[in-house]
Chains A and B, each alone.
Chain A
Amino acid sequence: MPDLLVNIVTKRPNFFYHLHPPTIPAEQASFSYTFGLGGLAVFLFLVVAFTGALLLFYYVPSAEQANDSIQLLTYHVPLGWLVRNLHYWSTQALVIVSILHLLRVILTGGSRPPRRFNWLLGLGLLLLLLGLDFTGYVLRWDVDMGWALLVGTNLVKEVPLIGGGLYRLVVGGSELGSGTVPRFFGWHVFGLLIPAAFLFGWHLFRVRRDGGISRPKPRPGRRSDKIGRELLLRREVLAGLIAGGILVILSVFFNPGLGAQLDPTQVIGEASAPWFFLWIQELLRWGDPLWMGVLIPLLLLILLGSLPYVFDRGEEGGRWFPRDGRRAQILAVSVIILITLLTLVGALR
């Protein structure tokens, strides 16, 4: 019996092996090269998707019942709190891990040809992820997110020419109201999730297609150790176990907030964006909403997207801080530091 089990789990080339290349270079498979960030993001994405699917059984996407249905789930459904808390914590972890993954890639030259396009796919994925996080936050339909919803959706109006139409498309009406919850629900589980799942698959496919994880070009006389996919899979299982344990512990001890039901016709509560948009809230304090809330974030995004096309045209990838990529490295780190500082200022305010 144990032999059979060992066979199934380790010997036979099962489905999970097929997702991996037969071997990968040992140097690039080391933890200090990737910190396992990409793999961790995959794991977290799957946890978010699975817990999200479970939440669908109880969540009622209507302004009258959304908040109550979350309470019902949290306090009265067996282990409902665990599902909701895991969904929350794995999402927040996914945002952070994705940003760190982005930094790792740019700082190791991983976005250089032939991986430039995958860099763009990754950025698109991050953008969709933030959208999913924000729409999920709104689905609580509580007073705590009222201000963020109001300001966030009003920013859409600032977009020149198409702002008004875009607003109605996003919000489901000419103002926030009972139509907003089903609309955001639609965006959350369909309009954003389907493209995100698609990009997720594409992004992973492109990793394999572009020759696996980025590494230096093989040179004569240089040894290149490799590890097998069995070991790789075991490392992934190990990372998944530890990450899963941490997520469950976070979920046991820290609950995501849930305020009183939102009434959009009433004065909306305290000004506070969700943590991942605190930097935009901070920018908005400084000036014109079109510039601070729409154009500057857009320019930062374009800047990040253009890094491998304009600022980092080197060829050598696969090790930390390649010299010929300094400009891109400095720009990327500066953008992340800027956003982090703005976030901290907003959080400490």
Chain B
Amino acid sequence: MKVQRGILLGTLVLLGSLVLAGMRELRPEYVSYAGNSVPVGFIPSLTNEPEYCLTCHEGIEEISSAHPVEVFGCVSCHGGEPLSLDPDKAHAGLIGGRNPSDFNVVEEGCGGEACHSGSPEDHRDHIARSLTSIQSTYAGAIAQVRFAFGAQEDQSAGYGIQAVRDPLVTTESGVPALLAFETTLAQDPQPVQDFAERCLTCHLYAEPIPEAAYKRLTGCAACHSPSNFMGTYVGEDPTVVRGESGHAAQHRLTTAIPYTQCNACHNRGNYSLVDMTFRPRKDLPQTQRAPRLQDYYQPIAQFTLCEWELDCVDCHTSGEAMGDGDLHSSQSEVQYVQCKTCHGTLEEPPLTYTIEDSEDLALRRALLNPSIDLQVGDTVLMTTLGEALWSIRQLPDGRWIQVGKATQVEYEVPLVRGSACGQNVDEQESRYCHACHAVERP
């Protein structure tokens, strides 16, 4: 009898365990994310391999119109295990964790000849340009600090955050290679070592200062996937913890970069060379963004109306921000857009250029920003280095209209020629314009 009762009990144990197994089968763990109890798969045309990432990440924003999900899928850029429905296994081998554009992995995440490590002629050398730009090498600051403390004889760049080479120097100020800053640190004076320890938070390899207002990702996404003030995600991917800092605001890559993203590094304070610490601006609120005008420039700066109404990317070109492909000793060597680039001078109108075919770079870039409707045959402004200012287009009546890349606000661009401007003809740099046109900070 005892055994028979035991068998009854044993049957219950087995049945109970089978009920548990049935529950797991009918309500798998991944239900808790997007509510899907069966896998959600699709086959991106580029890889032709099924991916089940959307089982959990259903609702996530398409990264950009240039990377349609039905073509690229997720794994082309992010890596990982597309068949897995277990969080740990699915995310094993992710390229750069959440950020495949991190500069340590960018070649794997965003590279490839047909993608972002193609030739300069095709304007597909984005990675090479970014990795040689001052934003990633920080070579200017390093050179100046080392020069200031006697560790080098002039201000020309010799060291970068990472060792980097430029096989083809195309400008006079370009240097062929930088050594890694850390390789010289042991011999450098103490202040330079302090600088290396405390002040290297601004370059694009680095994580930002861990406080609100400085929020950005690393690598390409630092600029192209803007963060909000607190660094929280506000998109539709149900797996991302709401209120958790350290995310881009959405799963988006954009060229319509608002000034707020630039401000995460610029305009929030300065490093003091006296004690090598960061001195944040004291005139800004700590828990929310300041009004745009207050946020804009540091108190000492002079600036004009368009400089705070427009976004940084409305004037500064890709060549300035991402570099011209050469390694430079100072950002000033690549920064060349002036007021006159758009407004011309008393004697000269700005340079212009007419789009002649559908493969034109200006057209390609305008396509990425839906607020700008550019057509073959349109005439746009052009910089002295031949970069198209594709958001500034001429109307049939001859006037110039600029559309804010991030704001979509339209502005008419007045020309100096024919105006009442009384400036000397040989004093046409922006600083002379600021003398009369600067606005007062409130």
Contacts and interface: CB of A to CB of B under 8 A. Distances in A.
A82 B25 CA distance: 9
A248 B10 contact: no
A249 B17 contact: yes
B21 interface: yes
A345 interface: no
A75 B3 contact: no
A82 B28 CA distance: 12
Contacts of B85: 75-76
B7 A258 contact: no
B13 A75 contact: no
Given A71-B81, A75-B86, A255-B86, A238 B52 contact: no
Interface string A203-216: 00000000000000
Given A252-B20, A252-B24, A245 B14 contact: yes
B242 interface: no
B92 A234 contact: no
Interface in B58-95: 81, 83-86, 89, 92-93
Nearest to B14: A245
B11 to A, nearest CB: 6
A125 to B, nearest CB: 27
Given A76-B39, A235-B3, A238-B3, A248 B92 contact: no
B14 A76 contact: no
B17 A71 contact: no
Q: Mostly helix, strand, loop or mixed at chain B's interface?
A: helix
A241 B3 CA distance: 12
Interface in A231-261: 231, 234-235, 237-242, 244-249, 251-252, 255, 258-260
B10 A237 contact: yes
Contact of A251 (B14, B21, B83, B92): B21
A300 interface: no
A241 B39 contact: no
Identify which of A68, A75, A249, A255 gathers the most chain B CB atoms within 10 Å of its CB.
A75
Contacts of B13: 241-242, 245-246
Contacts of B6: 238
B16 A245 contact: yes
A237 B83 contact: no
B409 interface: no
A75 B39 contact: yes
Contacts of B16: 245
Contacts of A242: 10, 13-14
Interface in B372-416: none
B7 A75 contact: no
Contacts of B17: 244-249, 252
B18 A248 contact: yes
A79 interface: yes
B3 A72 contact: no
A234 B83 contact: no
A260 B24 contact: no
B4 interface: yes
Identify which of B17, B92, B93 gathers the most chain A CB atoms within 10 Å of its CB.
B17
Interface string A66-82: 00100110111011011
A269 to B, nearest CB: 11
Contact of B3 (A81, A231, A251): A231
A234 B4 contact: yes
B10 A238 contact: yes
Given A76-B39, A234-B4, A241 B14 contact: yes
Nearest to B93: A260
Identify which of A68, A239, A240, A252 gathers the most chain B CB atoms within 10 Å of its CB.
A252
A246 B18 CA distance: 10
A248 B83 contact: no
A79 B21 CA distance: 8
Nearest to B7: A238
A252 B18 CA distance: 9
Contact of B83 (A68, A82, A245, A249): A68
A82 to B, nearest CB: 5
Contacts of B52: 75-76
Contacts of A74: 84, 86
A234 B6 CA distance: 9
Nearest to A231: B3
A88 B73 CA distance: 33
A76 B20 contact: no
A245 B10 CA distance: 8
B21 A76 contact: no
Contacts of A231: 3
A260 B3 contact: no
A241 B25 contact: no
Interface in B13-49: 13-14, 16-18, 20-21, 24-25, 39
Given A238-B10, A245-B13, A248-B14, A71 B84 contact: yes
B83 A76 contact: yes
A238 B8 CA distance: 8
A299 B29 CA distance: 47
A231 B6 CA distance: 12
B89 A71 contact: yes
Contacts of B21: 79, 82, 248, 251-252
Contacts of B10: 237-242, 245
Nearest to A80: B25
A143 B92 CA distance: 10
B92 A241 contact: no
Interface string B127-139: 0000000000000
B22 to A, nearest CB: 9
B127 to A, nearest CB: 23
A242 B10 CA distance: 5
B157 to A, nearest CB: 34
A228 B10 CA distance: 21
Interface in A179-219: none
Contacts of A237: 7, 10
A247 to B, nearest CB: 8
10 contacts: A75-B86, A234-B4, A237-B7, A237-B10, A238-B3, A238-B7, A241-B11, A244-B17, A248-B20, A258-B89
Q: Which 6 A-B pairs have the closest CB atoms?
A: A241-B10, A248-B17, A245-B13, A71-B83, A75-B85, A245-B17
Given A245-B14, A251-B21, 11 more contacts: A75-B39, A75-B52, A81-B24, A234-B7, A238-B7, A239-B10, A241-B11, A242-B10, A246-B17, A252-B21, A259-B92
